[in-house]
Structure formats: C-alpha cells, structure tokens
C-alpha cells in the first residue's frame, strides 16, 4: 500500500478518491500486510483497493491517519467512509501524555469537590503518604528530563524502590530497563547524552515509573493483562470491552534480586520480547485466556474479590478514557481499538501500565489467530449499521446481538437519556 510519506504529495489523488461517488462494491484499504485484517474483510465480500482509490473503510497506520486529518491537506471524508484511528489518539497512548491527562483529570475533579477525587493517608514504608482513594490506578510516574528533580526527591524518600524507564513513543518493550539506584540512571544518562539530545530536540522523551515489584504471580511467573477496548466516540463517550482478553506471561520465574534486574525474560511481559527467549513456549505463546484467569482467581481468592477486581479494571478503563476525552479530536468517521496493558499486584489491585493504539493483529498461535479474527469481526459488527454499509451519520448504537463478545463499558448518550 502507498504510504503518505512517500507519495501523498499525492494528496490530490487522495482528495480525488474521497470526492468520488461511493464505490458500488464495499471496499477497504490497509497499510498493513496482515492476513487476519485482509481476510476478515474479503470474507465479508469486500474488495481491497489502494488508499488513492474510492474506499469505504481504511485500516490505517497512525501517521497516515494524522495526515488525512491534517487541515492543511484539504481532505474531507465522506459519510460512507470510516477510519480506524482518532486524529489525536496519542493523548491516550503516549505514556507521558496519558499520565499528564490523568493527573489533570484528577486535579479538575478535586477542584470541583467531586467525591471521586477523595484522598486518604496510607503508610508506605516508614512514610505517611496521601493518595487518591478511587483514582489511584497509575504508578507514580515522572517525565524525563523535565521532571528529573521531582523524581530525585521521590527516589530519596524511598531509596530501596525499583523504577522502570521507558521511551514515551516506543512499543513492544523497546528501550525499557529497570534501575534500583540513582547512579545507574546517571550512568545511563551520561552514556546516552548525545542520543538524548537528539531525541529531546525532536520532542521525544522518557517516563520513569515506580516498578510494581509485588505482582500477582501464577506458577511463580509475572504476567500482565491485555484487554481490547473499542471506542466509537469520545464526545459523547462510547466504549466497549472485548471479553476475550488474555494474560501475557514471562517465560522465566519472577526474581527480585539485583542479579536479575536486567533480565527482560523475568520482568517484561511483551510477547515481542519473550518470544526471543529460549524458554518461550510457541505452543501457547505464553498466554492464558481471561476467562481462565477468572476461574483461577475464583478458586484461589474467591468469587467476590475476583468480581471486585474486574469491576475495578473496568473502572480504570472508563476513567482513563474520560481523562483524555476533552483533548481527543472527536470525529464521527473514526473508531479505534486500543490494547490496554494492566498489571495486577499481589493484593489484587489493578494498575494501568500503558495503552496501545495499534495492538498487534499478527497471531502468535492458532488460538491467538482465532481470538484476533473474532475481535475484528465483532468490531465491524459494532461500528457498522445493521445493513453492513459504513455510514458516519449512524449513531453507532448496536443491538446486543451485534455486540458479540464486546460488552458496553460506557455510553454517555444513555446516561443523558436516563438522567432526563
């Protein structure tokens, strides 16, 4: 497929294609050579075309989506066209912006006197700290280099804690590492000075977060949850959660010793990292279905606490979306499927680690392929009207049958109706 960066300069062609009449046959285009994506559309009878031709649905990469919505390009989508990203999706998926928006959201609720922003005092180590009672679902996080002094203050209060450093705009575990002392961070900073100067002058940055060092373990191994969340509108907010999420396990048993601090196969759950290890199981891909996790927790912790855990997971998803809703550029042509990464600690408290705008549609196992195919099919059933023809004027209110394995998280249009 033709990337905008190589030819859209060819914006005239794109504009021409968009100004054309609707294609007689339903059409799609994609920037990805992903079999699951392509076959899902083809099996529905859709025809694959180029982005410069008349299309009904564009499964785009994020940069091409931003290019389409760039005001200077003079492109305006028709009612019969849908695209799979919101223009300012990065307000949710960039690690630094996600944290900034959640902090701002909490402060605004606090200023309003909203009970959701209630605080409480807890003992942490030898210190008494104040934290949010209901909205404490992201680890303590600072941006680097801008918040370096604030981070140092926090580190000195808790000198025995571990921290995890991540590039804000990278994915799949790239560039992530752990530190347990300031000298290690300073050493990294010195060695990376030229690189950092280049990165920061290009408006990139890093985040450093307190490491969740008491994760819930199964079979002695650390895992996180990958949950798919479909958003069809940010204002009003409409979001759905796919019931068939899964756990992603580390291949090696969890070990908090300093000797294993750099061992990615102990600490990082990303499949792209784990599949490079000799202990990676290619049969099940280091994955466990969410329903099996629920059964395990009900058997070991009880049904009541398990149900509370999953209510809290839904809570944090909804409020992370509410935090970014005011700054996301909402557009009726857009929908987006986000990959939420959540870690559960030993006390069964969920922590939001990050959100992905383009969760992988490449299957790692046969079962993974089945799951992702179902995810795509269900997604199309939710975003398309009952007649199956894309229409941006449709209010995206699917019936229960169309939802399939999606469950409604929030629909603010219903809330308004119920309140009136």
Give the distance from CA 262 to its chain's centroid.
Answer: 25
* In a shared domain, residues 79 and 138: no
The predicted structure's pLDDT at residue 183: 83
* In a shared domain, residues 313 and 354: yes
Contact between residue 164 and residue 208 where contact means Cβ atoms under 8 Å apart: yes
The predicted structure's pLDDT at residue 368: 92
Q: CA 330 to CA 200: how far, in whole Å?
A: 29
* In a shared domain, residues 240 and 201: no
The predicted structure's pLDDT at residue 144: 87
With both helix axes pointing from N to C terminus, report the angle between 303-324 and 290-300 in degrees, rounded to the nearest 10: 130
The predicted structure's pLDDT at residue 311: 97
The predicted structure's pLDDT at residue 197: 47
Q: Tokens for 91, please give them.
A: 């307000």
Domain final position from 84, 113, 134: 84
- The per-residue pLDDT string of the chain (420 residues; one tens digit each, 9 = 90 and over) reads 444 444 444 555 565 556 566 778 999 999 988 889 999 999 999 999 998 889 999 999 998 998 888 877 777 899 999 999 999 999 999 999 999 999 999 999 999 999 999 998 877 666 678 889 999 999 999 998 889 899 999 998 888 889 999 988 777 667 888 999 888 887 777 766 544 444 444 445 899 999 999 999 999 999 999 999 999 999 999 999 999 999 999 999 999 998 889 899 999 998 888 888 887 787 788 899 999 999 999 999 999 999 999 999 999 999 999 999 999 999 999 999 999 999 999 999 999 999 999 898 988 889 999 999 999 999 999 999 999 999 999 988 999 999 999 999 999 987 654 443
Q: Tokens for 381, please give them.
A: 């059933």
The predicted structure's pLDDT at residue 162: 93
* In a shared domain, residues 136 and 235: no
* In a shared domain, residues 58 and 178: no
Q: For residue 167, with 0-12 CB atoms within 10 Å meaning exposed, 13-18 middle and 19 or more buried, which class applies?
A: middle
* In a shared domain, residues 290 and 409: yes
pTM for this entry: 0.91
Domain final position from 210, 239, 264: 210
DSSP assignment letter at 394: S
Contact between residue 92 and residue 119 where contact means Cβ atoms under 8 Å apart: no
The predicted structure's pLDDT at residue 381: 96
Domain final position from 210, 244, 269: 210
The predicted structure's pLDDT at residue 411: 96
Q: CA 186 to CA 358: how far, in whole Å?
A: 33
Tokens 């104040």 — which residue?
A: 130
The predicted structure's pLDDT at residue 240: 98
Nearest residue to 3 via CA among 60, 88, 83: 60
The domain containing residue 150 runs over which residues?
93-210
* In a shared domain, residues 203 and 322: no
The predicted structure's pLDDT at residue 14: 61
The predicted structure's pLDDT at residue 20: 61
Q: CA 79 to CA 248: how far, in whole Å?
A: 39
The predicted structure's pLDDT at residue 417: 46
The predicted structure's pLDDT at residue 181: 87
Q: CA 25 to CA 56: how far, in whole Å?
A: 9
How many Cβ atoms sit within 10 Å of the Cβ of residue 324?
26
* In a shared domain, residues 258 and 367: yes
Q: CA 232 to CA 84: how far, in whole Å?
A: 10
* In a shared domain, residues 192 and 227: no
Number of domains in the chain: 3
* In a shared domain, residues 134 and 283: no
Which CATH number covers residue 249?
A: 3.30.470.20
- Output the CA angle 384-226-44, nearest 5 degrees: 25
* In a shared domain, residues 203 and 108: yes
* In a shared domain, residues 374 and 227: yes
């Amino acid at each position: 497929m033709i990337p905008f960066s190589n030819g859209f300069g060819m914006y005239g062609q794109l504009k021409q294609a968009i100004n054309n009449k609707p294609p007689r046959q339903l059409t799609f285009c994609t920037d990805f050579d992903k079999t699951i994506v392509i076959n899902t559309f083809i099996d529905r009878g859709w025809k694959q075309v180029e982005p410069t031709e008349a299309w009904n649905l564009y499964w785009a990469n994020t940069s091409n989506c931003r290019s389409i919505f760039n005001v200077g390009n003079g492109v305006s989508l028709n009612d019969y066209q849908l695209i799979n990203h919101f223009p300012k999706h990065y307000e949710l998926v960039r690690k630094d912006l996600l944290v900034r928006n959640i902090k701002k959201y909490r402060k605004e609720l606090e200023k309003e006197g909203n009970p959701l922003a209630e605080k409480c005092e807890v003992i942490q180590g030898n210190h008494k700290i104040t934290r949010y009672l209901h909205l404490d679902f992201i680890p303590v996080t600072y941006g680097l280099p801008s918040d370096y002094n604030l981070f140092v203050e926090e580190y000195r209060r808790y000198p025995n804690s571990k921290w995890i450093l991540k590039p804000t705009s990278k994915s799949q575990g790239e560039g992530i590492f752990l530190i347990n002392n300031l000298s290690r961070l300073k050493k990294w900073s010195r060695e990376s000075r030229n690189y950092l100067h280049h990165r920061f002058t290009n408006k990139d940055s890093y985040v450093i977060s307190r490491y969740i060092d008491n994760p819930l373990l199964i079979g002695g191994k650390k895992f996180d949850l990958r949950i798919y969340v479909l958003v069809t509108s940010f204002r009003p907010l409409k979001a759905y959660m796919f019931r068939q999420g899964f756990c992603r396990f580390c291949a090696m048993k969890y070990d908090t010793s300093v000797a294993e601090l750099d061992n990615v196969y102990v600490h990082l759950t990303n499949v792209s990292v784990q599949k490079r290890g000799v202990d990676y199981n290619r049969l099940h891909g280091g994955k466990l279905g969410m329903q099996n996790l629920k059964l395990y927790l009900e058997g070991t912790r009880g049904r009541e606490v398990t149900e509370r855990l999953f209510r809290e997971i839904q809570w944090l998803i909804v409020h992370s979306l509410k935090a970014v809703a005011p700054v996301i550029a909402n557009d009726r042509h857009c929908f987006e499927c986000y990959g939420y990464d959540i870690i559960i600690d030993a006390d069964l408290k969920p922590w939001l680690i990050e959100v992905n705008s383009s969760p992988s549609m490449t299957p790692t196992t046969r079962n993974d392929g089945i799951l992702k195919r179902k995810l795509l099919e269900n997604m199309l059933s939710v975003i398309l009207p009952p007649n199956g023809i894309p229409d941006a004027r449709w209010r995206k209110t699917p019936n229960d049958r169309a939802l399939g394995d999606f469950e409604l998280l929030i629909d603010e249009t219903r809330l308004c109706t119920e309140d009136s």
